[in-house]
Structure 1
Amino acid sequence: MTAQENTTLKAAYAGKVAADLAENTAEQDRIRAEIETLQTQLATLETDHALLESVSAALGDTTGAVPAPRRATKKTAAVAKKPAAKKPAAKKPADAVAPAKKTGAKKETKKATTVAAKKTAATTGGAKEANTGADKGPALTELIHAHLSSQSEPRTAREIAKALADANPGRNVNDNLVRTTTERLVARSRVDRVKQGSTVYYTAKADAAPAVSGPAEKATVAAS
């Protein structure tokens, strides 16, 4: 093999190696982007799951093995028998008992719902954040969308969290919660998501539709 042929062969190998390296690097970038997206989606699902579990546990503590309306029916039926015994002249004692059962069942159901709401607010951090948003100001999704709408440039989740924490010192705002909530807005087509390198930027859409509560938010409101 001549020196010229050896040089040509080396150049061919070098070109092939460079192309393989570029392809490998691009594939790594693609997989990293997919992993980050899946991690964000997983965090959202985990947050929703924790909220739903806490609501389910709170409801389970109040209802017990026998539904509250059944316990109320037995109790009110026993009480309703006393006036019927004192007034034997009543023609339809069954009619007097039936309203008592219905009224007692409503009271017990209302009481069970109130207790469940209090336990949920006290034992779940996510439910507490949702209730705080409903009592003291707009929902976190609306705060995030309003902040992004007022910005002239895209913002990261950390920048959004810092701005909201400064503007709302009484609310529980952190990077992970803001990132998860903003991803929900992306899923609802209210916010655009752009990735530059390893950093994700968010921009509000001007023609976004009104917010629709997600599963976890609906469960929290139902418990309230």
Structure 2
Amino acid sequence: MPDTAVTSIQQKYQRQYAADLESNRSEQKDIERQIATLEETLGRLRADEKWLADQVELVPTHPETTAVPRAEDGAPAPVRPEETSVPEPRQEAHSATVPKKTAKKAAKKAAKKAAEKAAEKAPAKKTTATATVTERAAKPVAKKAATVKTTGKGAEPPLGDLLLRVLATNPVEPRTAAEVVTGLEKAFPERARDINTVRNTLERLVAKSRVERTKQGSTVYYTVPQQSGAGTQEADTTPAGEESETVAAQV
């Protein structure tokens, strides 16, 4: 009897241990399956993150539209003449070179403003004559303003030249717009710009054949052409987020 009792107890514990061992192995397999699923999900999320980051760089931004003032009844409020008047152009000694078209527009706006002021002050019967005289007087001013160029020693180089310098630091290495922004912040921190302004300026340089543009997948890269360096490039006078000031003679 004692031997039979011992054998029964051993068999009982053996069955219990075997069941616990099977449960342990089953739980390990469940955890391994969960880990594999989580790793697969993590890999997919990382791939989606890279794709989304590339898409963010390619999406152009649109300037915010100016809100139209509304009257109390919901209709657009009337705009007073003084609210739509064009500010008088100012002349600075160290501003960038003014394009001819921009100078002509500034001169025409200045002449128009002068005509409006004269029309408000003059009697009604003399309005037409005053406007005609003002327009005639403004024509030589417009021609003169179109040829105005600033030659101050302190004039800052345009953004396009700075980007060419950044790219020329390592001309054989293609760079994305974000990398060019980083290089601009390091080399010229006082002239740092957002990525959209930098990308638009680079695209203008590409159109002028001053920068080469390549694309790998969804990523766009920019390089300086091998036959030309940044030091021999002409100044890029096209406004691209630059603080270019319109220079015109006072009317």
> If the TM-score is normalised by the length of the shorter chain, which range does it land in?
0.3 to 0.5
TM-score (norm 2): 0.40
Higher normalized helix content (fraction of residues): 1
**What is the TM-score with the length of structure 1 in the denominator?**
0.44
Based on CA coordinates, which of the two structures has the bigger radius of gyration? 2
